[in-house]
Structure 1
Amino acid sequence: MTDYGVVVSGFSRKPLSVILGEIEQSNIGIFGPGVIQTSQSPMGQLNGLRADLLAAAWEMFEDIYQSYDPDQAEETRLDILARLRLIARAPGESDTSLRQAITNLGVPNTRDADFYRAVINIDGVTWAKIYSNDTGATDANGLAAHSVSVVALGGDDEEVALAARQYVVPGISTYGNTMVSTEVEGFCRSIQIMRPEQIPIFLNVTVSKTNDAAGCPPPSNAAIAQTLFAGLTGANRPVNGQDITLHLIRTAISCVYPNVEVTAATGNRVGSGAAALPIVIDFDEMATITLANIAITAV
């Protein structure tokens, strides 16, 4: 078994000293033990040139070997490996992050993780979620048995549908409110995607505030409103079909300000009168709120 090249532990590159030694031993076998191979001799200089060329070749061999390994590949070669998994590098994404996505490090469900990345990386998509119903009956969201729903905000309908088509195999139905016709290599297939309606809401929240454990004064009403707004928007926003509940509001505020207690809250869809929570949001809807529509009252 060779000590160099592809071995059990990976790739072992032959060192320059070993290469030069092998060349010198080969020359002795051809010309005899009296051949002069000092570094200053003509033969020695030829040996050095040959050794340098072979060492460069071994470096290239190692580089090629590593380019097939996502744990060692970098930059463009890592992008190529990602495409084999139907994954694309997000704008500004580091090699480390992309490498974790390729190897699914720390991700138990590789299908959903890859599927989500394919959708969220589409130009213009700002939010996405994948729902699947693996049971034999319609679930609480209305998904039929053995169906998938791709929910996305932003992006082009056809691009979202084409991304979904890569992961939803024929025979598995899709669920949504937007039907998109797709064609890949002459094969047509209709994909349903979910484009949730944005439902503007307002909230009136009553809080009780005390000094914190260090004796520092409680936050202002404006700061509490800003915290609640952050908890209901961006990456933290409630998903489609998620009701706006008193528990949701309390959690968003108390996780940041444990010395603030939410004692009561009302709200509704904009245009309707204030009512007791929850604000019911259907699966094809998604709550949205502005800072101006959050009122905080301290008692």
Structure 2
Amino acid sequence: MAYFTPYIDSAGLHIPTYTDIRDDLIEQAKSIYGQDIYLENDSMDYQYLSVFALKISDTLQAVQLAYNNRSPSTSIGSALDAVVKINGIYRKMASYSTCSVTLMGTSGTLITDGIVQDASGYNWSLPASVTISNTGSITVTATCQTIGAISAQIGDITKIITPTKGWISVTNNVIASTGQAVEVDSALRSRQAISTENPSQTILDGIFGAISSLESVTRLKLYENDTGEVDADGLPPHSLTAVVEGGKDEDIANAIYVRKTPGAYTNGTTALLINNDRGQTFLIRFYRPAYVIVDTTITLKALAGYTTATTDAIKAAVANYQDSLQIGDDLSISSTWGAALSVIPSLKKPLFSITSLTIGRHGQYQSAADIVTSFNEVTQGDTENIVVNIV
């Protein structure tokens, strides 16, 4: 393209490229000093004009960035943070995983600044001061010392890092509530789009937008049964069912209460009492997702270029896919194949050939069929539960 004056139209801001600017400066120089002036790549005058062209291009790129930063769909970083504040939302900061752990020991034992460890080597901090009850045990919340989505399955947290006299053992009887990394721009843009539903005409959309914008909420599914009968998912008649991953119980209950219609029944196993300004008390219910741990067995034939790193990459890709589904989504066997094959740089030169692939709920029979989940279930992948057999 030839150089053109920057302009804005219905399609946005248009700016010339560095090459266009450089070539135009060369032509302008020739029109001033004559067409016989030497301006090839090895000349000092050419280098001088190139410097000018680069400075102009850099300035126009900054103008382009500033122009794009006016919209949540194109802004990035701190500019996106500023734009989404208009919608009353903020970028979700990184958080730490938490897990309920049971401590066993002598009644009355005081544990100060205790630390425990899981099977993967991550340390988890206990509350600053814990006293074992007269039953010989106490259940407290441990917080992972590593920020981000650190998972722990049932029975993973068993090692005592800070031994204390009278403290015998530790274990977790529930799956950890995973933390999260700092919210990326794409996720914040998506949440900003959802947040515009808060003042919508549809009550369900408003509740979805309100819960989605809460701190640490990572996944959400809403169901409405507006019939007079129990529906196919087993949900009560005339009910609202929310299944929420992450976030504080109180915040979620309040978001549902202030937006639901009068008289609507809220369905779920997590229940909180909400007091309004008129002294009335309402019971708000919702679900936490039930995690379906997936066992996967992949049998393959290794081809040229296959290494142990390929095995690790296959496990990671499959586990990431199994972790990426939304609440209530079935786990597709064909998509699991696709996740495994995605580690091959070029299908024209495959590193391996899959001969069979089976999946199943942890500890149950595996088959080549999809895993069908309930309305409140979500699959959870773990490389420890993925077996790769090479034949």
Q: TM-score range by the shorter chain?
A: 0.5 to 0.7
Aligned twin of 1:250: 337
How do 1:166-177 and structure 2 match up within 5 A?
Answer: 166-177=258-269
Instruction: Return 5+ residue gaps in structure 1 as ranges.
Output: 1-69
Provide structure 2 residue ranges, at least 5 long, that are not aligned to the other structure: 1-71, 73-79, 94-182
Kindly indicate whether residue 160 of structure 2 is the aligned counterpart of residue 155 of structure 1: no
**Equivalent position of 1:221 in the other structure:** 311
**Residue 129 (structure 1) aligned to one of 217, 221, 227:** 221
Question: Is the 1:221–1:298 contact (alpha carbons within 8 Å) kept by the matching residues of 2?
Answer: no
Partner residue in 1 for 2:357: 265
Amino acid of the structure 2 residue aligned with 1:249: T
TM-score by length of structure 1 reads 0.55
1:295 alignment partner in structure 2? 387
Question: Counterpart of 1:264 in 2: which secondary structure?
Answer: strand
Instruction: Give aligned pairs, total.
Output: 212
Offset at residue 159 of structure 1 (A):
1.7
Cα displacement (A) at 1:129: 2.0
| CA offsets 1:69-127 (integer angstroms, 9 cap, x no match) | x9xxx988974x635xxxx3343788x948755656xxx99655543342233334332
Match of 1:129, SS state, is strand
Work out whether 1:91 is the aligned partner of 2:96. no
Q: Which residue of 2 aligns with 1:200?
A: 293
Is 1:237 matched with 2:237? no
Percent identity (aligned): 25
The 3 A distance-change label for structure 1 pair 238 and 262 is farther
Of structures 1 and 2, the larger Rg is shown by: 1
- Determine the C-alpha separation between the residues in 2 that align with 1:101 and 1:151: 17
1:174 positional shift: 2.0
> Cα deviation per residue 1:210-247 (whole Å; 9 max; x = unaligned)?
89xxxx989923222221111111xx23524x443423
Aligned partners of 1:232, 1:284: CA distance in 2, in Å? 16
Aligned to 1:82: 87
Contact 1:180 1:193 in 2 (8 A): no
Q: Could you tell me how far apart the structure 1 residues matched to 2:227 and 2:212 are?
A: 26
Q: Give the aligned residue type for 1:188.
A: T
Q: Which residue is equivalent to 2:275?
A: 183
Structure 2 match to 1:33: none
Kindly report the root-mean-square deviation, in angstroms, between the aligned alpha carbons of the 2 structures: 4.0
1:26 paired residue number? none
Q: What is residue 210 of structure 2 aligned with on the other side?
A: 118
Residues 21-70 of structure 1 show CA distances to partners (whole Å, capped at 9, x for unaligned) of xxxxxxxxxxxxxxxxxxxxxxxxxxxxxxxxxxxxxxxxxxxxxxxxx9
